[in-house]
Structure 1
Amino acid sequence: MAPLVIRTHTAGGDFGRLRAEFVLPESFSPDVLAEAEAAVGDPIEPAEREDATGLPFVTIDPPGAKDLDQAIFLERTATGFRVHYAIADLATFVRPDGPIDREARRRGQTLYLPDGNVPLHPPVLSEGAASLLPGETRPAVLWTIDTDASGLPVTTHVRRALVRSTAQFDYETVQAEINAGRPHPSIAALPDLGRLRRELAVRRGAVELQLPEQEISGDADGGWALARRPRNDIDAWNAEISLLTGMAAAQIMIEARVGVLRTLPAPEEEAVAWLRRSAHALGIEWPEQTSVSVFLSKLDPGDPRSMALYADTTRLLRGAGYTAFDGSLPELTTHAGIGGPYAHVTAPIRRLVDRFATEICLAVQADRPVPDWVREALSEVPEQMTASDTLAARVERACIDQVEAWVLAEHIGGEFQAVVLRAEENKAEILVEDPTVMAKCAGARLTVGERIAVRLISVDVDKRKVEFEAA
């Protein structure tokens, strides 16, 4: 079946109504914009900033991205690897309790919509002076992490620096070059270190779901296309560098007994037992002594039964939050999905909490007091981030639901191939394979993990709802 697209000249082809529904800001107030412009010409310079412009950093981001938080340069050493990870230094441009800071606390994070984002910071910063754009000298927070031959961190050093990215890549280009045996020298070690870190993650008990991601993109004729976003090795390996840095940051804050962590409680025994029963019902062998992490890592993501089980596994990862502390450690300091302590520090352009966590790590490593404005924010940042996470998830889901309705509106009565993800007595949740749509399906005696034919029976564009029945 050819990909289905919605043309923008069709009624309802933009996201203006959705933006209004969620009361998303259209721009920044004049005082925020004025402060951002002033900050570009008069940044807050620290007493010391290392010159690291000689390191050949590169960035790896989605095509066309301008808000570049991270730049990477990897080296092999006699005993393992050295990770140089440069992170945009937003505190250089954001004055505590100034207009930009107050507005960022209201927003919490950048929201991404198909027709344009709602940025956390004014574009003159997020896509300009603070962004690690290629060929530009930029202030950064530079993490240098040495690992042993197995990928375990041995030493961590974090400080402020000046960096210059030498090239901007996207995931597919990097993957193609590695597959062709022509990796860029700055990331030639990424496959080996990435694989080692993935192995360590499984041993730690990290739980990674490989449910297909729905991706909205524009097409050549000005319409919207909905497809399944492929996850390649580069996605996973690049994410491991960010996770390595976040885990190092968490350890720094735990040892100092001040910080803010991303936490998730361990799954309840009954939830794991329920997942084992689901695997058995799907005919997937799960040896008794094999952990959840190891079991999931060996599943074939392309198997319909695996997709169904991944959908069920989401119940293991409930209760994520942000845990701030100052003086004594909280009861929960770990993230069950990652398999250890973890903190957000690698995306300060796009996420509020990273700026505060980074300042704590910098202060601790420099053996100086954590700034008062950071300590004062610790009681508020978790709630601000939780609220923005909730909004971001709702907006993302609404955008996907809207495009699903637009794409399918003219295909009522059509038949599609789908996989049953969950099933109850007379209804089920399905994954339609082309276009990639997750929806409800009516029909008796549907079997989880089964590939079936379904018929589209209704589409409500205004309510963003589609419904299928077993064909």
Structure 2
Amino acid sequence: MALHQRIVSAPVDFGAIRSEFGLASAYPAEAGVEARDAVDAFAGSRLDRTDIALVTIDPPGAMDLDQALSIQRTRAGYLLHYAIADVAAMIRPDGALARESGARGQTFYLPDGTVPLHPPVLSEGSASLLPGVSRPAALWTIELDEAAEPQRFSVVRATVRSVARLDYAGVQADADAGNPHPSIAALPEFGMRRIEAGLARGAIGLRLPVQRVVRDGAADGHWRLVVEPRTAAEDCNEQVSLLTGLCAARIMMDGNGSGERIGLLRTLPPPAASAIESLRRTAAALSVDWPDERTVGRVLAGLDPNSPTSLVLMSEATSLLRGANYTVLDGDGPESALRHSAIAAPYAHVTAPLRRLADRFATEICLANCAKVPVPQWVRDGLVAAAETMRRSDGVAGKVERACVDLTEATLLAPRTGAEFDAIVLREANGSRPAEIFVADPPVLAPCVGAPPEGESVRVRLVSADVSTRKVSFAFPATPAPDRAARLL
């Protein structure tokens, strides 16, 4: 085997991806001025809840802070306060900023920077729930029982003040040391009970390796690939957002008391029976125990996320989670068509309005229904367009993220063409579709020609890494058999 120097990082230019997908960071001047001059339209009528010691939990360095929480143990169970940045209060519905954000749909994340939904002066400044300053918020209050099941919930406009900006690693370290921030001391217990509640409903969660492109601090302008470890703190914090989305969906589906139902839900159709049967066959081939009565979610939750078997089965399970959509709720309709099958309940996005357009509309509906007032006309008029924008921008966001990873993979691997790597076979070849493998170092998901056995650890050879097309290909076995002429010599 030829010797190849191991490349741990390389210079990568993501500008071409911005151009390819038409991602323009610059905001129109008029919209930028509106963002700079934005004021709270409800400043005189908010409930003052600066007495609640809220904290934010975000990646290090994040400034667009949508959410702040406090969760306390009570005699009955738990009390959750969840403040969400009140973006709608800062944007004129008929203004240039509303039009531009309505066209963008969401913030697009690239390794070298974001293409934001809103100008940073708003999303990282006046509307962000930064610590130590009073901010307008949609404040959710959710009362839960001992099993962390919601008993009462509502949302109101309030003024809040975060007392600390935390990150996931720090929250996890504090929890492990037995010294959590008082505002979230109950979060681990709450999170575990909410995860169990989801599994009991039939929810499905995947824990596949998450590839990230990150800066190489030792080499200016260079980038490398990593697999980010997921902490229990992230899992528990995710449950807060999921719970709030469940409550929001219920508020929209219950209506405003007049019999009218209007809303914007995040939906996912149930998986086809054939997809579940295929997953069962894969589990059987991998010797994974799957009793008839056990749900998909419980089978996946019981796997060791670090084992090759788990990677294979979870990779196959992605086929169950296709067809996510934004569905406008307008009048009556069967609840089965309004559910998110991976969450196993109706669900809505309401917790990231600085980064996602849908949340602004859904939150306004919940605020109106809880206050027993009509839903604003701009929300009614804009719901269909908002749903269409979210569908389109979701598709673009997924392609942009994949393109950035693919470009980095090809750039890092190009100098190592012909080298051999250890890999795990996630999917075997099927007809014209090549096998799919996961290489751990560098962390790469890629096609592999040949017939490597699914679920096995194998040795593969890098056949090509084309930076211009962002395509990488491996071959199995790593060492090709000598051709007939060579055998005769």
What is the letter of the counterpart of residue 9 of structure 2?
I
- SS class of match (1:208): coil
- SS class of match (1:241): helix
Partner of 1:72: 69
Paired residues of 1:3 and 1:434 also in contact (CA < 8 A): no
Partner of 2:456: 450
Structure 1 runs of 4+ off > 4 angstroms?
1-4
Which of 260, 264, 273 is the equivalent residue of 1:260? 264
After superposition, residues 47-58 of structure 1 pair within 5 angstroms as 48-58=45-55
Question: Rg larger in 1 or in 2?
Answer: 2
Partner of 1:314: 318
- Flag the 1:88–1:358 CA change in 2: closer, same or farther, 3 A: same
Q: Is 1:155 paired with 2:152?
A: yes
Identity, % of aligned positions? 52
- Separation in structure 2 between the aligned mates of residue 34 and residue 410 of structure 1, nearest angstrom: 47
Query: How far did 1:144 drift?
Result: 0.7
What is the letter of the counterpart of residue 458 of structure 1?
S
With normalisation by structure 2, the TM-score equals 0.93
- Separation in structure 1 between the aligned mates of residue 371 and residue 264 of structure 2, nearest angstrom: 18
- Separation in structure 1 between the aligned mates of residue 134 and residue 396 of structure 2, nearest angstrom: 34
What is the letter of the counterpart of residue 10 of structure 2?
R
1:311-347 CA deviation, whole Å, 9 max, x = no partner? Answer: 1111111111111122223551110000101000000
Partner of 1:85: 82
1:150-180 CA deviation, whole Å, 9 max, x = no partner? Answer: 0000010210111111111111111011011
Paired residues of 1:6 and 1:407 also in contact (CA < 8 A): yes
Query: How far did 1:283 drift?
Result: 1.7
Query: How far did 1:6 drift?
Result: 2.9
Partner of 1:392: 397
RMSD: 1.5
Q: Is 1:130 paired with 2:135?
A: no
1:380-411 CA deviation, whole Å, 9 max, x = no partner? Answer: 22111000000000000000001111111222
Q: Is 1:102 paired with 2:106?
A: no
Partner of 1:171: 168
Paired residues of 1:3 and 1:225 also in contact (CA < 8 A): no
Q: Is 1:368 paired with 2:367?
A: no
Paired residues of 2:155 and 2:367 also in contact (CA < 8 A): yes
Structure 1 gap segments, 5+ residues each = none
Partner of 2:485: none
Which of 433, 437, 441 is the equivalent residue of 1:434? 441
- Separation in structure 2 between the aligned mates of residue 167 and residue 191 of structure 1, nearest angstrom: 18
Query: How far did 1:264 drift?
Result: 0.8
After superposition, residues 230-379 of structure 1 pair within 5 angstroms as 230-256=229-255, 257-329=261-333, 332-379=337-384
Query: How far did 1:54 drift?
Result: 1.6
- Flag the 1:137–1:272 CA change in 2: closer, same or farther, 3 A: same
Moved more, 404-413 or 389-398: 404-413
Paired residues of 1:206 and 1:338 also in contact (CA < 8 A): yes
Q: Is 1:139 paired with 2:145?
A: no
- SS class of match (1:380): helix
- Separation in structure 2 between the aligned mates of residue 109 and residue 424 of structure 1, nearest angstrom: 36
Aligned length: 464
- Separation in structure 1 between the aligned mates of residue 271 and residue 395 of structure 2, nearest angstrom: 21
Moved more, 289-298 or 77-86: 289-298
Q: Is 1:416 paired with 2:413?
A: no
